[in-house]
Chains A and B, each alone.
Chain A
Amino acid sequence: MVIQKEKKSCGQVVEEWKEFVWNPRTHQFMGRTGTSWAFILLFYLVFYGFLTAMFTLTMWVMLQTVSDHTPKYQDRLATPGLMIRPKTENLDVIVNVSDTESWDQHVQKLNKFLEPYNDSIQAQKNDVCRPGRYYEQPDNGVLNYPKRACQFNRTQLGDCSGIGDPTHYGYSTGQPCVFIKMNRVINFYAGANQSMNVTCMGKRDEDAENLGSFVMFPANGNIDLMYFPYYGKKFHVNYTQPLVAVKFLNVTPNVEVNVECRINAANIATDDERDKFAGRVAFKLRINKT
Chain B
Amino acid sequence: MAQKTPEIYSVELSGTEDVEKTDRGGGGGKEKYRGLKNKRLGLRKNHQKEALKKELGLEDHKLSTKELEKKYGTNIITGLSSTQAAELLARNGPNALTPPQETPEIIKFLKQMVGGFSILLWIGAILCWVAYAIQYFSDKSSSLDNVYLGVVLALVVIFTGIFAYYQEAKSTNIMASFSKMIPQQALVIRDSEKKTVPAEQLVVGDIVEIKGGDKIPADIRLLSAQGCKVDNSSLTGESEPQSRSCEFTHDSPLETKNIGFYSTTCLEGTATGLVINTGDHTIIGQIASLASGVGHEKTPIAIEIEHFVHIVGGVAVSIGILFFIIAVSMKYSVLNSIIFLIGIIVANVPEGLLATVTVTLSLTAKRMAKKNCLVKNLEAVETLGSTSIICSDKTGTLTQNRMTVAHLWFDNQIFVADTSEDHSNQVFDQSSGTWASLSKIITLCNRAEFRPGQESVPIMKKAVVGDASETALLKFSEVILGDVMEVRKRNRKVAEIPFNSTNKFQLSIHETDDPNDKRFLMVMKGAPERVLEKCSTIMVNGQEQPLDESMAEAFHTAYMELGGLGERVLGFCHLYLPADKFPETYSFDVDTMNFPTSGLCFVGLLSMIDPPRSTVPDAVTKCRSAGIKVIMVTGDHPITAKAIAKSVGIISANSETVEDVAQRLSVPVEQVNKGDAKAAVVTGMALKDMSPEQLDELLTSYPEIVFARTSPQQKLIIVEGCQRQDAVVAVTGDGVNDSPALKKADIGIAMGIAGSDAAKNAADMVLLDDNFASIVTGVEEGRLIFDNLKKTVAYTLTKNIAELCPFLIYIIAGLPLPIGTITILFIDLGTDIIPSVALAYEKAESDIMIRKPRHKKKDRLVNKPLAIYSYLHIGLMQALGAFVVYFTVYAQEGFRPSALINLRVEWEKDDVNDLEDSYGQEWTSYQRKYVEWMGYTAFFVGIMIQQIADLIIRKTRRNSIFQQGLFRNKVIWVGIASQIIIALILSYGLGSVPALNFTVLRPQYWFVAVPYAILIWVYDEVRKHFIRLYPGSWWDKNMYY
Would you list which residues of chain B between 884 and 902 have a CB under 8 Å from chain A? 884, 887-888, 891-894, 896-897
Complex Cα–Cα for A181 and B303 (A): 65
Q: Which of chain A's residues have a CB closer than 8 A to the CB of B303?
A: 1
In contact, B921 and A184 (Cβ under 8 angstroms) = yes
Known: A47-B873, A54-B880. A62 touches B926 (CB 8 A): no
Known: A36-B1034, A76-B931, A83-B913. A59 touches B897 (CB 8 A): yes
Known: A65-B892, A277-B913. A70 touches B994 (CB 8 A): no
In contact, B926 and A274 (Cβ under 8 angstroms) = yes
Known: A55-B884, A66-B896, A89-B911. A230 touches B930 (CB 8 A): no
Q: Which of chain B's residues have a CB closer than 8 A to the CB of A276?
A: 926
Q: Which of chain A's residues have a CB closer than 8 A to the CB of B994?
A: 274
In contact, B926 and A83 (Cβ under 8 angstroms) = no
Partner of A51, one of B880, B911, B924, B926: B880
In contact, B884 and A90 (Cβ under 8 angstroms) = no
In contact, A76 and B893 (Cβ under 8 angstroms) = yes
In contact, B924 and A277 (Cβ under 8 angstroms) = yes
Q: Which of chain A's residues have a CB closer than 8 A to the CB of B876?
A: 51
Most buried by B among A62, A63, A76: A76
Q: Which of chain B's residues have a CB closer than 8 A to the CB of A181?
A: 914
Tell me how far the C-beta of A186 lies from the nearest C-beta in chain B, rounded to whole angstroms.
6
Partner of A232, one of B897, B920, B1011, B1034: B920
Q: Cβ of B576 < 8 Å from any Cβ of A?
A: no
Q: Which of chain A's residues have a CB closer than 8 A to the CB of B1008?
A: 62
Complex Cα–Cα for A72 and B897 (A): 14
In contact, B884 and A77 (Cβ under 8 angstroms) = no
Q: Which of chain B's residues have a CB closer than 8 A to the CB of A51?
A: 876-877, 880
- Name A69's closest neighbour in chain B (CB-CB): B919
Tell me how far the C-beta of B559 lies from the nearest C-beta in chain A, rounded to whole angstroms.
56
Known: A83-B922, A186-B921, A233-B919. A76 touches B930 (CB 8 A): yes
Q: Cβ of A80 < 8 Å from any Cβ of B?
A: yes
Q: Which of chain A's residues have a CB closer than 8 A to the CB of B921?
A: 71, 74, 77, 183-186, 230, 232
- Name A35's closest neighbour in chain B (CB-CB): B1034
Q: Cβ of A39 < 8 Å from any Cβ of B?
A: yes
Partner of B914, one of A63, A83, A230: A83
In contact, A63 and B896 (Cβ under 8 angstroms) = yes
In contact, A183 and B1034 (Cβ under 8 angstroms) = no
In contact, A278 and B926 (Cβ under 8 angstroms) = yes
Q: Which of chain B's residues have a CB closer than 8 A to the CB of A55?
A: 880, 883-884
Would you list which residues of chain B between 901 and 930 have a CB under 8 Å from chain A? 911-914, 916-927, 930
In contact, B307 and A1 (Cβ under 8 angstroms) = yes
Known: A39-B1034, A183-B923. A71 touches B913 (CB 8 A): no
Q: Cβ of B151 < 8 Å from any Cβ of A?
A: no
In contact, A183 and B911 (Cβ under 8 angstroms) = no
Q: Cβ of A91 < 8 Å from any Cβ of B?
A: yes
Known: A62-B887, A83-B913. A230 touches B926 (CB 8 A): no
Would you list which residues of chain A between 115 and 134 have a CB under 8 Å from chain B? none
**How big is the A interface, by class?**
35 or more
- Name B888's closest neighbour in chain A (CB-CB): A62
Complex Cα–Cα for A177 and B627 (A): 89
Partner of A278, one of B924, B1012, B1034: B924
Would you list which residues of chain A between 63 and 88 have a CB under 8 Å from chain B? 63, 65-66, 69-74, 76-77, 80-83, 87-88
Q: Cβ of B318 < 8 Å from any Cβ of A?
A: no
Q: Cβ of A236 < 8 Å from any Cβ of B?
A: yes
Q: Which of chain B's residues have a CB closer than 8 A to the CB of A90?
A: 911
- Name A90's closest neighbour in chain B (CB-CB): B911
Partner of A71, one of B877, B916, B919, B1002: B919
Tell me how far the C-beta of B1032 lies from the nearest C-beta in chain A, rounded to whole angstroms.
14
Q: Cβ of B682 < 8 Å from any Cβ of A?
A: no
Q: Cβ of A275 < 8 Å from any Cβ of B?
A: yes
Q: Which of chain B's residues have a CB closer than 8 A to the CB of A232?
A: 919-921
**What is the 8 Å Cβ interface bit string for chain A, positions 204-235, against chain B (1 contact, 0 not)?**
00000000000000000000000000101110
In contact, A91 and B911 (Cβ under 8 angstroms) = yes
Most buried by A among B873, B888, B1008, B1012: B888
Partner of A77, one of B925, B927, B1011, B1015: B927
Complex Cα–Cα for A236 and B924 (A): 21
Complex Cα–Cα for A67 and B911 (A): 30
Q: Which of chain B's residues have a CB closer than 8 A to the CB of A76?
A: 893, 923, 927, 930-931
Q: Which of chain A's residues have a CB closer than 8 A to the CB of B880?
A: 51, 54-55
In contact, A233 and B920 (Cβ under 8 angstroms) = yes
In contact, A54 and B1015 (Cβ under 8 angstroms) = yes
Q: Cβ of A13 < 8 Å from any Cβ of B?
A: no
Q: Which of chain B's residues have a CB closer than 8 A to the CB of A183?
A: 913-914, 921-924
Q: Cβ of B1038 < 8 Å from any Cβ of A?
A: yes
B interface SS class: helix
Count how many chain B residues have C-beta atoms less than 8 Å from C-beta atoms of the other chain: 43
In contact, A275 and B924 (Cβ under 8 angstroms) = yes
Complex Cα–Cα for A47 and B1035 (A): 14
Tell me how far the C-beta of A152 lies from the nearest C-beta in chain B, rounded to whole angstroms.
16
Tell me how far the C-beta of A269 lies from the nearest C-beta in chain B, rounded to whole angstroms.
13
Tell me how far the C-beta of B405 lies from the nearest C-beta in chain A, rounded to whole angstroms.
54
In contact, A66 and B892 (Cβ under 8 angstroms) = yes
Q: Cβ of A192 < 8 Å from any Cβ of B?
A: no
Would you list which residues of chain B between 712 and 736 have a CB under 8 Å from chain A? none
Known: A51-B880, A58-B884, A76-B930. A81 touches B892 (CB 8 A): no
Q: Cβ of A244 < 8 Å from any Cβ of B?
A: no
Would you list which residues of chain A between 157 and 202 have a CB under 8 Å from chain B? 181, 183-186
Q: Cβ of A281 < 8 Å from any Cβ of B?
A: yes
Q: Which of chain B's residues have a CB closer than 8 A to the CB of A71?
A: 892-894, 917-919, 921
In contact, B893 and A81 (Cβ under 8 angstroms) = no
Q: Which of chain B's residues have a CB closer than 8 A to the CB of A91?
A: 911
Partner of A186, one of B883, B891, B919, B927: B919
Complex Cα–Cα for A204 and B47 (A): 83
Q: Which of chain B's residues have a CB closer than 8 A to the CB of A277?
A: 913, 924-926
Complex Cα–Cα for A184 and B915 (A): 10
In contact, B923 and A236 (Cβ under 8 angstroms) = no
In contact, B891 and A63 (Cβ under 8 angstroms) = yes
Q: Cβ of A40 < 8 Å from any Cβ of B?
A: yes
Complex Cα–Cα for A39 and B873 (A): 16
Most buried by B among A54, A65, A90: A54
- Name A272's closest neighbour in chain B (CB-CB): B926
Complex Cα–Cα for A54 and B1011 (A): 10
Q: Which of chain B's residues have a CB closer than 8 A to the CB of A186?
A: 919-921
In contact, A73 and B893 (Cβ under 8 angstroms) = yes
Complex Cα–Cα for A241 and B198 (A): 100
Complex Cα–Cα for A266 and B866 (A): 61
Q: Which of chain A's residues have a CB closer than 8 A to the CB of B897?
A: 59, 63
Q: Which of chain A's residues have a CB closer than 8 A to the CB of B1011?
A: 58
Known: A62-B888, A62-B891, A73-B893. A230 touches B924 (CB 8 A): no
In contact, A80 and B922 (Cβ under 8 angstroms) = yes
Q: Which of chain B's residues have a CB closer than 8 A to the CB of A54?
A: 880, 1012, 1015
Complex Cα–Cα for A70 and B303 (A): 58
Would you list which residues of chain A between 25 and 45 have a CB under 8 Å from chain B? 36, 39-40
Additional A-B contact list (11), CB under 8 Å, known A36-B1034, A277-B924: A62-B1008, A69-B919, A71-B892, A73-B894, A81-B923, A230-B920, A233-B916, A234-B920, A236-B920, A239-B920, A278-B924
Would you mind naming 29 contact pairs between A and B with Cβ atoms under 8 Å apart?
A: A36-B1034, A39-B1038, A58-B884, A59-B897, A62-B884, A62-B1008, A63-B897, A66-B891, A66-B896, A70-B919, A71-B921, A72-B893, A73-B892, A76-B931, A81-B922, A87-B912, A90-B911, A181-B914, A183-B914, A183-B922, A183-B923, A183-B924, A186-B920, A186-B921, A232-B919, A232-B920, A234-B920, A277-B925, A277-B926
Which residues of B are at the interface with A, using a C-beta cutoff of 8 A? 303, 306-307, 873, 876-877, 880, 883-884, 887-888, 891-894, 896-897, 911-914, 916-927, 930-931, 994, 1002, 1008, 1011-1012, 1015, 1034, 1038
A-B CB proximity, top 4 nearest: A233-B920, A81-B924, A183-B922, A275-B926
